[in-house]
Each structure stands twice: as structure tokens, then as C-alpha cells.
Amino acid sequence: MGMIDCLQGEERYWQKRLTAAYAERLQAARKQDEEMTRLGSAAASSEDRLVAMQAAWESYRHAACLYEQAQWMGGTGGGPATMACHMHESARQALKLEGWWAQ
């Protein structure tokens, strides 16, 4: 197994965790919003804020990893570096959603 295969495998692992954690947080945000509506609260929607945060994070990950790729000045290490960046950023976000915001 080459370096790219290894990185792709770990990226898939973290992406699955990220997707699952995001889905769980989204469900929790919806429940929270329903409860706040029931109470007559004017609080901002947790679901809307979560969706906006995740979209902004995806844009950040894309830009950060393109910057990482640029550090290789067109060299052959740019591809693996970009993939490793994607993997690391996905792992960080998955852990954040799993832990910091877990109930």
C-alpha cells in the first residue's frame, strides 16, 4: 500500500466520523430549536448556526489545504500534502463535533 492509499484510507475514516458527528449535532440542534420554539424563545436557531458554521469550516478546509499544496511549489509532494491536510482538518472537526459539543 502506497502513501496515497494510506492517506485516502484514513481520510475516509475521518470523513465517516465527521459525517456521523455532524448528523448527530444537527439532530440535537433541531431538538433544541423545537424546545426553544415551544418555550416561546426568540433565540437564534441552533440548526441555522450549525449549518453556517459547517459551511464556513468546509471553505476554510479547502483554502487551508490549497495553501498547504502551494508550499510545494508545484512539486510532487503537493498531492500527498494536500491529502494529509484534508485528513488532519477533517479529523480535528470530527473530534470537535464529537467532543466539545457532545452532550
Assess if residue 82 is contained within a domain: yes
42: domain CATH number is: 1.20.1270
Q: What is the residue range of 33's domain?
A: 6-100
* Per-residue CA distances from 13 to 7, 56, 61, 77 (Å): 10, 22, 17, 22
pLDDT of 98 reads 95
Assess if residue 1 is contained within a domain: no
Average pLDDT, the chain: 94
Assess if residue 52 is contained within a domain: yes
Contact indicator for 8, 88 with CB cutoff of 8 Å: no
Rounded to 5°, the CA angle 51-53-54 comes to 65
For residue 3, what pLDDT band results from cuts at 50, 70 and 90? confident
Contact indicator for 90, 61 with CB cutoff of 8 Å: yes
Assess if residue 18 is contained within a domain: yes
Q: Read off the pLDDT of each residue in 27-38 and give the average, rounded to a whole number.
A: 96
Query: Which residues contact residue 43 at a Cβ distance below 8 angstroms, ignoring those fewer than 6 apart?
Result: 36
Per-residue pLDDT at 39 exceeds 70 = yes
Assess if residue 25 is contained within a domain: yes
Number of domains the chain is built from: 1
